[in-house]
Amino acid sequence: MLHDLLFPQLAGHTWARVNLNDIALEHAGEVEARDAVTDEHWVDLLHQMLGVDHSWGGWMEARHFLMKGQYHKNVGPDHFWHLGVDFNVPANTAVHLPVDGELVHSEMDPDQDGGWGGKLIFKYDQGWFILGHLNEIVTQKRWYKAGDPVAIVGHRAVNGNWFPHLHVQCLTTLSVNVDGYSHLYPGLEQDYPNPMRMLCVDDEENQLV
């Protein structure tokens, strides 16, 4: 699994694949207003309910409910298709490179209204991939080996004001200003392919919770 490559220090921990938008809809009446603080508490409670340590999911997930009122107020009503996979782990968890790659972009995005926080873009043999919502990121533009530590998962004050998680997104065309969400259009899945299949090979055995 990709999480084993990203977080080798968490070997032996339990994980669940989740659809956060669907779960948020199921529990819509239990939270009056949501923000990064309540979302972090909500994800912790979700892990307790599922009996797992961490969770992952979200590629091409329609997050129209989850992101409503929280994300870039000026985007259109269909701009909530999630382009990457989120790994919901605690802040300060070390992130390791899943494959060999060349760092081509490194920045700390200060936007606290749905920004990236620490963002890294690597070129690898099938395109490019982003690691986002980070802290203590590498900055030297060079090749890194699979397994190299390249960042830690950021907390709310530095990660774009999100609950702590790692966002992993693949791209077939390099764009340093790319968003993590998009409107739906033909070819979207080809432009932003599934990281679980591009960076690791065994997604099929994991059942959706």
Pairing between β-strand 127-135 and β-strand 149-153 as defined by DSSP bridges: antiparallel
Centre a 10 Å sphere on the Cβ of residue 22 and count the other Cβ atoms it contains: 16
Cα 1-197-106 angle, rounded to 5 deg? 85
- Encode pLDDT of 160-201 as tens digits: 999 999 999 999 999 999 999 999 999 999 999 999 999 986
Can you tell me whether residue 128 is helix, strand or coil?
strand
Closest to 84 (Cα-Cα) out of 26, 160, 149, 167: 167
Tokens representing residue 3 in the block: 């999480």
Query: Coil, helix or strand for 135?
Result: strand
Q: What is the mean pLDDT of the chain?
A: 89
- Are the C-beta atoms of 151 and 135 separated by less than 8 Å? yes
Q: Residues 198-207: what's their mean pLDDT?
A: 62
In Å, how far are 24, 35, 187 from 18, measured between CA atoms? 11, 19, 24
Q: Which two tokens stand for residue 66?
A: 């989850």
- Split at pLDDT 50, 70, 90, the class of 37 is confident
Quick one: average pLDDT of 33-43?
77
Comparing C-alpha atoms, which of 114, 146, 148 is closest to residue 133? 114
- Tokens read off for 18: 């989740």
Q: Say whether pLDDT at 204 is over 60.
A: no
Between β-strands 149-153 and 15-17, what pairing exists: parallel, antiparallel or unpaired?
Answer: unpaired
pLDDT on residue 26: 76
Tens digit of pLDDT for each residue in 109-164? 998 888 999 999 999 999 999 999 999 999 999 999 999 999 999 999 999 999 99
Residues 175 and 9: beta-carbon distance below 8 Å: no
- Spatial distance between the Cα atoms of 176 and 120, rounded to a whole number of angstroms: 9
What pLDDT, in 10s, does the model give residues 42-98? 899 899 999 999 999 999 998 877 776 665 556 666 778 999 999 999 999 999 999
The two structure tokens encoding residue 189: 């899945």
DSSP conformation class of 206: P
Structure tokens at 96: 């390791």
Q: Which domains does the chain have, with CATH numbers?
A: 2-198 (2.70.70.10)
Residue partners of 114: CB distance under 8 A and separation at least 6: 70, 71, 72, 160, 161, 162
